[in-house]
Structure formats: structure tokens, C-alpha cells
């Protein structure tokens, strides 16, 4: 029996039990009870619907590179057709780097990695040092808000784009909703880098992650908290460590991307 | 005796034009193929223009445009050093292949009066079009070219007409005798050999026995000598004017909004596309011209004075013109209409429209596509059970169309691909390459494929590894590109012009311990460095810098450097 039907039956049983217990739950109390039951049934239905909707894409999720992050994400990694918001300190806080890394993880499956750089300050050698193939990258530099919004909409609608990475300062609620629908239709993975202060703004992203750099603890460490997750639980958090690895190394066994937590593969940072 | 007019556009048809013949050409210097197309197209358009004077317009020889333009580009960039000549030939000597056309006006010049008048008129018409050209008339192709090259002067609008009578060959010889042998349209090897022998002018060459010249320098030299003086026939290969794909409409004036313009554009475009489809060709460039008025300009000018109207017309205020460029030929009306809408959005306010003209100025043969059992829409339906096409099944045209749209609205230089340079100085360590310069088909195929097949769940094996250098860039070399940099060695955001900051340093190591950031002093809790560079002496002054990565107590990381020897500190980037 499908889970949704099972929940419906449970709901009926509960109402029957209540009905047998006496005639006391009438009037306002009866209405409140009905509302509760309806809400409960809706919750069950929504919970059942979400995995079905997510499974429509028929794609396996892409591991993030950190097991602890995979464990707190709804599908155990990134998925195409998602909008992911990375919130944090954009000026040197490493949130952009985390976002770019996640975009590249998905773009490796095919499709161009689009970087929207309206400030002209994006530094491609950083992406190259991260292991990103610059030959698969498209840097678009729109000028003005109208062009920026239009470009973002266009690249998120194009099926040939693998992932989009953009520093998104402010966005209209309706425009954001349109972007969400666009990625769900096209299967593009969108990564938005936003300031911490945008935490107060409403979001249409499927995932909202808040990253905070932890100072002075060995390698570059971050605390990542899930603020919103469609089909998952918000509130979970973990700590990540960006360690030196040889770029693009993969396991000989199953071809999985070696993440920074695979200790045996780690090369220590001997820059100093 | 024949009457031949030579028109030479120094620098090619790309560099000078007003009527839209060559506005786009000459920008993509890296793409020889594209340059070939444009230059060839420019010359054909010039030939079509010249057909108004004579139906016989052509070249003396068939030209391998790609080879000639590649050689020309090599000469421009100084990469033609594989053959060392003792005497470098005049670079203009080979220009006749790609920059000149010839008109046979033997039977038509009397309609214009005389050859001199016709030549003068061609020159004036070219000047009106703002095309700097040299025009010369003679009895042979070779003589007209020689006169163009060394006797005509484009700056003062002076044309040259040599004597064309059979009995006046002595006069022609006297006129041309003092010209250099470079005017003979000889290959560089022959010119080098003549220079070694000390033969500089045509007179010196003609004084030598022809048999000896043929034996020592090759028959091509004697052949050219005979051709220039009319002793050997040199026929022209005629260029037949290409079909024009143009559609026009005269309008009353007032327009009913954007949708009306779009409908009108579609209405005019469809017949062009039908004609192109029949010939198996597609649109590569579309030129749209609109005679419009804003704020009643045109009405006001027409009503008051003709002078004002002419002034407005001369300034081009009421003619809107833009070009829609594509990177793959197409006959799809919907795609072209969407590009037109993007371009039209930038035109601004239009009150009235009087004339619309749409011309497919560049067309190309369409790529052959296998016909299927189903229509295109049916073919787009996914067959796989999961309901989605995988990335590598998405046709390259999807990405090409995105590029078309982006470049149409934002401009070519705003849609780029980064490329690393073998430079230590961060400002020069990369360059942004316009995507239009790439081979679009190849690049689209490249990016649509997964990086590793092992990423797909279906394939259960790890592919062989490739070296880091080949992954990044297979065509560039340099020790700087081969370096294996730590992932956090370079900042995500950088300033092309570094910002000067205040910094306290350790006395021994010189590493920063405090820096002034966001209006207050921040404690540096960790730093990595120095990474010293000393480079750029060949640009202006040598650049000497000690780079440090620093982490302040809030966890933020910055990229700072100390300028040497002044010890000033600069902030050049942050780590995202």
C-alpha cells in the first residue's frame, strides 16, 4: 500500500476512535479537530509527494565531496534542477569557493559551467587551482541590473548548461520564483552566493546553506548549516575542512570523486 | 586592345567601409576561417557593386583564400620566420590576391565617355562610400596592378590611366620601367632571387635576355613580364554576383507597438528563409534597416525646410540599423525572431516607421541532417524511462543558440572563456577569450560530454588519468601553467588595480601581523608566504612583489602583497 493511502487510513481510524469515545468533541472543538486532521493528512500527502517529484528527474545525486555534508542534504548530495543558496561572508569568507566547488561537481557530468560575473573581479586562476577545467567554463559579464536578470534567466533555462555560479546580491521575489521554475524545467544546477544578511529574505532555493569560516584551526574549516531544504530537514549542521588534495583524483575502485576527508590521499599544504 | 581597370583596397575590404559591407569583418583575427568568409564575402560584395560599371568583374587567378589569409596573418604577427629571405619583399606585393578586383571595360567604357572618365567616376564613388581605394586603368591586368601599386594615390583621389594603344608600348615601357619588380605579382622566392642579383626595376629586368631569366629564375618571371606588356594573354576569372536575399516594406508611419514590429519582421523574413531553404543554405548574418522617426523629427524636418531634412538624413538620425550575427547557419524563423526581439529592445523609443529592409548579408550551406521518421518535435520527446535526456544527448545547437542570444544582447566581448597565460604577474596570468572566436561545434561537443565517464552510474570503471596540464590547456606551454598550485593559493576575487592598505609586519620575516580592513585594525592570526615574483621588466618597469595569504581573526582570508623596494602594502584579492 502506498504510504499516502496508509496515512489516510490511519487518519480515519483516529476519527472513528474519537467518535466512539463520546459526544463531547462537538462545536469549536470538533472544528479544530477536523482542521488538525486535514492538516495532518496534507502533511502526509506532501511528504509522500516530495520524493516522487524529486525522483522524476531520474538522476542519481552527485556527492558533495564531504560525507558529513552528504548526510545532512536531502538526497545525499547535489542534484540537477536544484537551486542552492550559499550564505556567508562573501569577502574572504570562502563561501564563494564552496559554491564554485559544488557547481563544478555537477557540471562535470556534462554541460558548461557558467560564471556570471557582473563585477569583473572573478579570477579564473583560482578556479584552475580548484581543479576546474577552464575550457568548460563560460564567463558572462552583463552590465546593469536588467541585463544581469535577463542573463541569469537565460542561462538557467538552457538545457545545455550544467551549472551556474553567481554572486546574487538582491533579487525580487517573483523573479526568484521564475528562476526556480526555470531550473526545475531545464535541469540546470544553480548556485547563488549571497551575503549573510540575505538570511532574512524569503527564498525559492531548494537548498539554503549557511557557511561560516572557522578561524585558526588547521586547514580551512567551515561550519555549514542547512537553513532550508526541500524534501529534507532544516537545522542540521556539520563541519567541513578544505584540505589540499590533488585535483580531480578519483577512486580506482568505483571512480568516485575523492573528497577532502579521504585522509590517505591528502597532500599536506607545504606552501609556507 | 583591352581596357582593364584595377581597384585595390589597401588593407582589404575589411578595414574601410561605410555602407555596411565590411563593418563586422576584421575583428576576429584568430579565426582564419571566419576571416576568410568575411574577406571573401567583402570582395564579392565589392564585385557586385562594381557590376554597375561593367558586367565583367573578376580575378586573374583563382585564390586559395584560407591559405592566403593565414599567410597574411602570419606576416602581421611576425610568425613567417620559417623562411629567411636575404631581402624582405614588399609586404604589399602579395596583396593583389585578396585585396584587388579587375574590371574589363573594353566594350562598355564608351557609355561613360572615356576610360579616364570612368576611372575617375569609380574613384569618386568609392570616396563617397568612404572607401580608400586606388584605381588605375591600363591595357593589361599586370600593368593596371603595377600602376595601382606604385603610381596611384588614394589620399588625393588621383587615378592613373596608362596608354592603351598598341603602338604606344614604348610609352608604357617608359612609364612602368622605373617601377620596382615587386609590381610583377611574383612569388617571394623569385623576388628574393631578383634582389640578390641586384635587379630592382622592371627596366633592368626587361634588358636581360628572356631565356636566361626563365632558366635561372623560373618561367613565372618571363610569363609575368610578357603579361604586363600585353605579349601574353591573361584572362580574368569572372566573379558572378551572388544572389541577394533581401526583403523590404514601405510603411505609412505610425506603428502599433513591439508586437507589430515583430510580426512585420516575421512576415518579411519568411520569404527569405523559403528561398534559402530551397538552396540548402541558412542565415549567418542578418542586416536590418529601419527608417524611423522619434519625437516627430521627420515630420518636423519635412514640413519646415529641406535643408533641415537633409541634415537629419546626413546625420543618420532616422535610420536605425543593426546586425544579427549567428554562429551556425539557420533557417528557423522562431530563433531569428527571438534574436530580433533582443536587438530591438535596445533600439529605444520609436514613434513612426517609414521603411523596413531586411537582408541576409551572410549565408552558408546548412549542415546535412539525417531525416527521421518523426518530426522534430516528436524526436525531442525523451525515450528513456527516466524521462530526461542526458547531457551528452543534448544537441550542440542548444548551447549555440544560448551563445547567439547572449552575444546579441550583451556583445561579443562579454561572453568569454578564460584561458591561463604563462605569466607570474596576476594581472596578466589569464585572458578572456571571446567565445565567438572558438570553433563552436567542437566546443559545444566538448562541454556537453561528461568530464569522466565514471561519473555516470552506468559505467562502472574509472577512466585513465590525464595529466593536469593537458586537462587545462593542450595548446599552451610554459612553466607557470605546469605548476600544481594549492587550491587556496589564488583568490576568487581580485582587483586589477590593487588597493593600498596599511599593514604592520613582523620585524624578522616581514609577514603581516595586523592590517587595516573595514575601518579597523584586524589581527592576522595566520599567514602563508612570501611568494615572491619579479617579472614584467619587458613591459615597462620590473615588478617585484612579495605575496602573502593572510587569515584574520574572523576567518576571512585575503591576498596581499608588499611592493619592493618601497615596502608599500596592497590588497589584491580575497578568497571568496
Say whether both A159 and A253 belong to one domain.
Answer: yes
**Regarding predicted confidence, which is higher, B469 or A166?**
A166
C-alpha cell at B249: 516594406
State how beta strands B160-161 and B134-138 pair: parallel
- CA-nearest residue to B463 within chain A is A255
Grid cell 620585524 — which residue?
A: B507
Give the model confidence (pLDDT) of B276-311 as tens digits: 988 888 888 888 998 887 765 554 444 344 443 444
Mutation site, B400, B423, B447, B557, interface A, largest A CB count within 10 A: B447
How far A165 CA lies from chain B's nearest CA (Å)? 12
C-alpha span between B576 and B570 (Å, rounded): 18
Residue B447 counted as domain residue: no
Instruction: Write the CB contacts of B72 (distance below 8 Å, at least 6 apart in sequence).
Output: B94, B98
| Contact call for B556 and A151, based on CB within 8 A | no
Domain containing A80 — which CATH number?
A: 3.40.50.300
Q: Is B574 part of the contact surface with chain A (CB cutoff 8 Å)? A: yes
Chain A residues lying within 8 Å of B394, measured CB to CB:
111, 159-160
Tell me what pLDDT residue B267 has.
93
Helix and strand totals (H; E) in chain A: 7, 8
Which helix (H) or strand (E) segment is B351 a member of? none
Q: Which of B396, B340, B338, B363 has the alpha carbon at shortest distance from B277? A: B363
- List pLDDT tens digits, range B447-457: 878 876 434 43
- Residues B57, B198, single domain; the answer is yes
Residues B68 and B200 in one domain: yes
Q: What's the predicted TM-score (pTM) here?
A: 0.61
Do A170 and A111 sit in the same domain of this protein?
yes
Query: What one-character-per-residue DSSP string does B367-424 give?
Result: PP----SS-HHHHHS--STTS---GGGS-HHHHHHHHHHHHHHH-GGGEEEEEE-S-S
Instruction: Identify whether residues A41 and A131 lie together within a single domain.
Output: no
**Is residue A60, in this structure, part of any structural domain at all?**
no
Q: Is the ipTM of this complex over 0.90?
A: no
Residue B261, domain CATH? 3.30.1490.100
- How far is B454 from B168, CA to CA, in rounded Å? 81
The CA distance from B474 to the nearest CA of chain A, in Å, is 10
| ω into B500 cis (within 30 of 0) | no
Residue B475's pLDDT band (cuts 50, 70, 90): very low
- Which carries the bigger pLDDT value, residue B444 or residue B157? B444
Q: What angle do CA A165, A169, A173 make, to 5 degrees?
A: 95
Quick check: B543 and B566 in contact, CB under 8 A?
Answer: no
The residue segments making up the domain with residue A208 are: 67-265
In a domain, A271, yes or no: no
Element (H, E) at A193: strand A189-195
Length of chain A (residues) = 272
- Looking at the structure of chain B, the number of domains it has is 3
Please tell me which of the candidates B396, B398, B525 has its beta carbon nearest to residue A215. Answer: B525
Q: What are phi and psi of A77, to 5 degrees?
A: 160, -165
Cβ within 8 Å, pair A250-B454? yes
Range of the domain at B535: 493-574
Domain closes at, from B365, B384, B406: B365
> Between A90, A99, A128, which is nearest B420 by CB?
A128
In this prediction, residue A206 carries a pLDDT of 92
pLDDT for B99 equals: 85
- pLDDT-derived band at B85 (thresholds 50, 70, 90) equals low
Sheet with B503-505: strands ordered across: B493-501, B568-574, B557-563, B543-552, B520-535, B512-517, B503-505
Total of domains in chain A: 2
Mark whether A46 and A78 lie in a shared domain: no
CB contact under 8 A, B450 and A110: yes
CB contact under 8 A, A215 and B462: no
Beta strands in B91-210 (DSSP E): 100-104, 134-138, 160-161
> How many angstroms separate the first and last alpha carbons of chain A?
62
Distance between A148 CA and the closest CA of chain B, angstroms: 10
Question: Which pLDDT score, from 0 to 100, does residue A1 have?
Answer: 39
Amino acid at each position: 500500500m502506498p504510504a499516502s493511502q496508509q496515512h489516510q487510513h490511519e487518519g480515519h481510524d483516529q476519527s472513528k476512535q474519537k467518535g466512539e469515545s463520546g459526544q463531547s468533541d462537538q462545536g469549536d472543538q470538533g472544528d479544530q479537530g477536523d482542521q488538525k486532521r486535514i492538516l495532518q493528512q496534507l502533511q502526509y500527502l506532501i511528504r509522500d509527494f516530495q520524493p516522487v517529484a524529486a525522483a522524476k528527474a531520474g538522476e542519481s545525486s552527485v556527492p558533495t565531496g564531504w560525507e558529513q555534508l552528504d548526510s545532512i542534504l536531502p538526497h545525499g548530495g547535489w542534484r540537477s534542477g536544484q537551486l542552492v543558496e550559499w550564505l556567508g561572508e562573501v569577502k574572504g569568507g570562502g563561501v564563494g569557493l564552496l559554491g564554485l566547488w559544488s557547481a563544478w561537481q555537477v557540471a562535470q557530468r556534462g554541460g558548461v559551467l557558467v560564471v556570471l560575473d557582473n563585477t569583473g573581479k572573478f579570477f579564473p586562476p583560482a578556479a584552475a587551482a580548484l581543479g576546474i577545467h577552464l575550457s568548460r567554463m563560460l564567463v558572462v559579464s552583463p552590465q546593469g541590473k536588467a541585463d544581469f536578470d535577463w542573463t541569469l534567466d537565460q542561462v538557467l533555462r538552457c538545457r545545455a548548461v550544467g551549472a551556474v555560479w553567481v554572486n546574487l546580491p538582491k533579487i525580487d521575489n517573483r523573479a526568484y520564483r521564475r528562476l526556480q521554475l526555470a531550473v526545475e524545467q531545464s535541469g540546470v544546477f544553480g548556485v547563488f552566493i549571497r551575503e549573510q544578511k540575505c538570511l532574512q529574505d524569503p527564498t525559492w532555493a531548494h537548498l539554503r546553506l549557511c557557511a561560516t569560516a572557522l578561524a585558526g584551526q588547521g586547514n580551512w574549516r567551515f561550519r555549514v548549516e542547512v537553513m532550508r531544504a526541500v524534501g529534507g530537514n532544516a537545522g542540521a549542521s556539520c563541519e567541513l575542512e578544505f584540505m589540499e588534495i590533488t585535483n580531480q583524483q578519483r577512486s580506482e575502485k568505483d571512480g568516485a570523486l575523492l573528497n577532502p576527508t579521504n585522509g590517505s590521499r591528502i597532500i599536506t599544504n607545504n606552501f609556507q | 586592345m583591352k581596357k582593364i581597370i584595377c581597384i585595390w583596397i589597401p588593407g582589404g575590404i575589411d578595414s574601410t567601409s561605410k555602407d555596411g559591407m565590411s563593418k563586422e569583418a576584421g575583428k576576429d583575427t584568430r579565426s582564419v576561417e571566419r576571416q576568410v568568409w568575411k574577406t571573401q564575402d567583402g570582395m564579392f560584395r565589392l564585385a557586385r557593386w562594381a557590376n554597375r560599371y561593367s558586367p565583367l568583374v573578376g580575378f586573374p587567378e583563382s585564390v586559395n583564400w584560407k591559405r592566403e589569409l593565414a599567410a597574411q596573418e602570419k606576416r602581421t604577427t611576425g610568425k613567417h620566420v620559417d623562411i629567411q629571405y636575404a631581402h624582405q619583399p614588399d609586404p604589399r606585393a602579395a596583396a593583389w590576391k585578396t585585396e584587388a578586383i579587375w574590371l574589363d571595360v573594353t566594350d562598355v567604357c564608351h557609355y561613360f565617355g572615356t576610360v579616364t572618365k570612368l576611372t575617375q567616376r569609380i574613384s569618386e564613388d568609392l570616396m563617397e562610400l568612404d572607401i580608400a581605394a586606388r584605381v588605375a586603368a591600363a591595357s593589361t591586368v599586370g600593368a593596371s596592378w603595377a600602376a595601382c601599386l606604385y603610381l596611384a594615390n588614394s589620399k588625393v583621389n588621383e587615378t592613373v590611366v596608362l596608354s592603351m594603344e598598341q603602338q604606344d608600348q614604348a610609352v608604357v615601357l617608359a612609364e612602368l620601367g622605373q617601377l620596382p619588380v615587386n609590381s610583377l605579382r611574383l612569388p617571394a622566392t623569385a623576388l628574393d632571387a631578383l634582389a640578390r642579383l641586384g635587379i630592382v626595376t622592371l627596366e633592368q629586368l626587361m634588358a636581360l635576355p628572356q631565356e636566361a631569366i626563365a632558366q635561372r629564375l623560373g618561367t613565372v618571371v618571363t610569363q609575368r613580364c610578357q603579361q604586363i606588356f600585353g605579349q601574353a594573354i591573361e584572362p580574368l576569372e569572372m566573379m558572378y554576383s551572388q544572389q541577394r536575399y533581401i526583403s523590404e516594406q514601405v510603411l505609412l508611419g505610425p506603428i502599433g507597438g513591439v508586437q507589430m514590429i515583430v510580426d512585420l519582421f516575421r512576415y518579411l523574413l519568411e520569404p527569405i528563409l523559403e528561398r534559402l531553404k530551397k538552396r540548402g543554405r541558412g542565415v549567418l548574418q542578418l542586416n536590418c534597416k529601419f527608417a524611423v522617426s522619434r519625437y516627430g523629427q521627420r515630420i518636423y524636418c519635412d514640413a519646415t525646410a529641406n535643408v533641415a531634412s537633409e541634415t537629419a538624413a546626413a546625420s543618420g538620425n532616422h535610420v536605425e540599423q543593426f546586425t544579427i550575427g549567428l554562429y551556425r547557419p539557420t533557417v528557423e524563423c522562431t530563433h531569428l525572431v527571438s534574436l530580433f526581439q533582443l536587438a530591438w529592445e535596445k533600439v529605444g523609443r520609436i514613434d513612426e516607421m517609414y521603411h523596413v529592409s531586411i537582408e541576409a548579408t551572410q549565408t552558408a550551406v546548412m549542415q546535412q541532417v539525417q531525416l527521421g521518421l518523426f518530426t522534430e518535435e516528436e524526436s525531442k520527446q525523451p525515450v528513456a524511462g527516466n524521462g530526461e535526456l542526458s547531457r551528452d544527448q543534448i544537441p550542440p545547437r542548444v548551447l549555440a543558440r544560448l551563445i547567439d542570444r547572449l552575444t546579441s544582447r550583451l556583445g561579443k566581448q562579454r561572453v568569454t572563456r578564460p584561458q591561463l597565460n604563462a605569466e607570474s604577474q596576476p594581472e596578466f596570468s589569464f585572458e578572456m577569450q571571446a567565445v565567438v572566436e572558438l570553433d563552436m561545434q567542437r566546443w559545444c561537443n566538448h562541454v556537453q560530454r561528461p568530464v569522466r565517464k565514471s561519473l555516470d552510474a552506468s559505467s562502472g570503471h574509472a577512466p585513465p588519468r590525464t595529466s593536469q596540464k593537458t586537462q587545462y590547456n593542450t595548446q599552451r606551454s610554459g612553466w607557470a601553467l605546469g605548476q600544481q598550485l594549492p587550491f587556496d593559493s589564488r583568490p576568487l576575487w581580485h582587483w586589477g588595480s590593487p588597493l593600498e592598505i596599511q599593514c604592520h609586519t613582523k620585524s624578522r620575516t616581514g609577514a603581516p601581523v595586523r592590517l587595516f580592513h573595514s575601518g579597523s585594525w584586524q589581527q592576522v592570526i595566520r599567514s602563508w608566504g612570501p611568494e615572491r615574483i619579479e617579472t614584467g621588466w619587458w613591459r615597462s618597469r620590473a615588478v617585484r612583489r612579495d605575496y602573502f595569504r593572510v587569515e584574520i581573526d574572523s576567518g576571512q582570508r585575503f591576498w596581499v602583497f608588499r611592493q619592493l623596494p618601497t615596502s608599500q602594502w596592497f590588497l589584491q584579492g580575497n578568497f571568496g
